[in-house]
Amino acid sequence: MIKYILRRLLFFIPVILGVIFIVFTLLHITPGDPAKIILGQGATPESVQALRQEMGLNKPFLVQFFIYLRDLIIHQDIGISYVTKMPVMVSILGCLPYTFKLALASIFVGIIFGIPTGIISAVKQYSIFDNVTMVLALIGLSMPVFWLGLLLIILFSVQLGWLPASGFDSFKSMILPSLALGSQSVAMFARMTRSSMLEIIRQDYIRTIRAKGQKEIVITIMHTLRNSLIPIITIVGVQFGTLLGGALLTESVFSIPGIGRLMVDSIKTRDYPVVQGGVLIIAIFVCIVNLIVDIIYGFVDPRIKSQYV
C-alpha cells in the first residue's frame, strides 16, 4: 500500500508542474500589457518601459516562467496584485475558507440526498419513485446553477423572507448557496449510484446471497453498495474538485467573498497575478482531491492492494 501511495505522489508532481506551465502560458499570451494596466492609460512610453524592465517583463518567456516557478517553490510567492498592491497569496488565503466551506457544504448536500436516492431507485427499478427521481435528476443536471440560485433567492428571500439572500457568515446564509451549488451533485450522485448498483445487483453472487436467505437490507448495504463504491467515490472526488472551481458564479450571485468572486473581480480589472494565483490554487486542490481519491481506492478495492504487496 505504501508503494501505491508513493507512486501516486510521484505522479502528482508533474501534473502540478504542467498546470503551472499551462496557466502561466495562457496569461502570458493574453492581450494586454500589465505595465500599462498598472500605470494607467495616460502613462508615457518611457515609464511603461521602465516598469516592464523592473517587473522582468522584457525577459524571454522561459526565463520569466522559471523565475515564477522559483519564487513559487522557494518563497511561496505567486506575485503582487496590480490593483491592491498586496501579495496574491494573502488575498487568496483570505478568500479560500469561504470557497472551501461552500464546496464542502455542497458536496455534503449531494451525498446526503443523492446517494440514498440512487440506492432506492436501484432497488426499486422502474417504480414510480425511480422514474420521478431520474426525471428530476435529469432536470437538475440541465439547470444552470446561477439561474437556480436566483430562483431560490426570489422564493426564499424575497417572497417568503425565510433566508438571507447574500453572505456566508451563518448557518442560514449557507443554506441557499449550498442547495444551488449542490443540486447538480445530487442529480449526478443519484444517477451514478443507481447505474453502478444495477450492474452489481445482476451479478450471480448477489442471487446466491439472496437464495441463502440473507436480509435484503444487508444485501443492499454490505454487498451491493460496497461493491459499487469505486465509481461512486470517483464521481464524488471529481465533483468536489469541480465545485471548488465551479463556485465562481454561485459566489457572485450570493455575494460570497470566496476565490470565485475574487477571480471575477480580478478578470474585470485585468489583475492577472490574482487570476493566475486563483487558477493555480484551485488546480492544486483538484489534484490533491484526485490524489486522495486514488489512495481511498487502495483501501476500498483489495485488488489494488494486492498489486503493491
Q: What is the mean pLDDT of residues 269-277?
A: 79
Q: Does residue 48 sit in the same domain as residue 184?
A: no
Judge contact between 89 and 99, C-beta under 8 A.
no
Buried b (16+ CB within 10 A) or exposed e, 117-134: bbbbbbbeeeeeebeebb
Look up the domain containing 154 and give its range.
Answer: 89-307
C-alpha cell at 190: 443519484
Q: Are residues 220 and 291 in the same domain?
A: yes
Residue 182 lies inside a defined structural domain of this protein: yes
Same-domain pairing of 162 and 61:
no
Strand partners, 80: 87
Instruction: Tell whether 201 and 302 lie within a shared domain.
Output: yes
pLDDT at 4: 67
Read off the C-alpha cell for 47.
Answer: 515609464
pLDDT of residue 208: 84
Kindly state whether residues 149 and 287 are assigned to the same domain: yes
Query: Residue 309: is its pLDDT beyond 60?
Result: no
The pLDDT tens digits for 189-236 are 998 888 888 888 878 888 888 888 888 788 888 778 877 888 888 888
**Residue 2 lies inside a defined structural domain of this protein:** no
- Helices 171-201, 88-123: axis angle to 10 degrees equals 50
- 175 domain residue, yes or no: yes
Cell numbers standing for residue 250: 454561485
Is 191 a member of any domain? yes
Same domain, 122 and 216: yes
Q: What does the pLDDT look like over 160-191, one tens digit per residue?
A: 888 888 777 778 888 888 888 888 888 889 98
Q: Are residues 127 and 41 in the same domain?
A: no
Say if residue 308's pLDDT is above 60: no
Q: What is the CATH number of the domain that holds 283?
A: 1.10.3720.10
Runs of H (alpha helix) within 202-258: 204-211, 216-218, 229-253
Question: Is 299 contained in some domain?
Answer: yes
Structure-block grid coordinates of residue 308 = 503493491
Task: Check residues 308 and 127 and name the one with the higher pLDDT.
Answer: 127
Residues 105 and 233 in one domain: yes
Same domain, 103 and 238: yes
- Is residue 60 assigned to a domain? yes
Query: Are residues 119 and 251 located together in one domain of the fold?
Result: yes
21 within a domain of the structure (yes/no): no
Query: How many domains, in total, are found in the chain?
Result: 2
Question: Is the domain of 40 the same as that of 132?
Answer: no
pLDDT tens column, 59-117: 788 888 888 888 888 877 777 787 777 888 888 888 888 888 888 888 899 899 988 99
Q: 14, 49, 77: which is the final residue of a domain?
A: 77
Which residues neighbour 49 within 8 Å (Cβ) at sequence distance 6 or greater? 35
Residue 9 lies in a domain: no
- 232 plus 282 within the same structural domain: yes
Residue 109's nearest CA partner among 172, 161, 187, 164 is 187
Residue 45 CA to residue 54 CA, distance in Å, equals 14
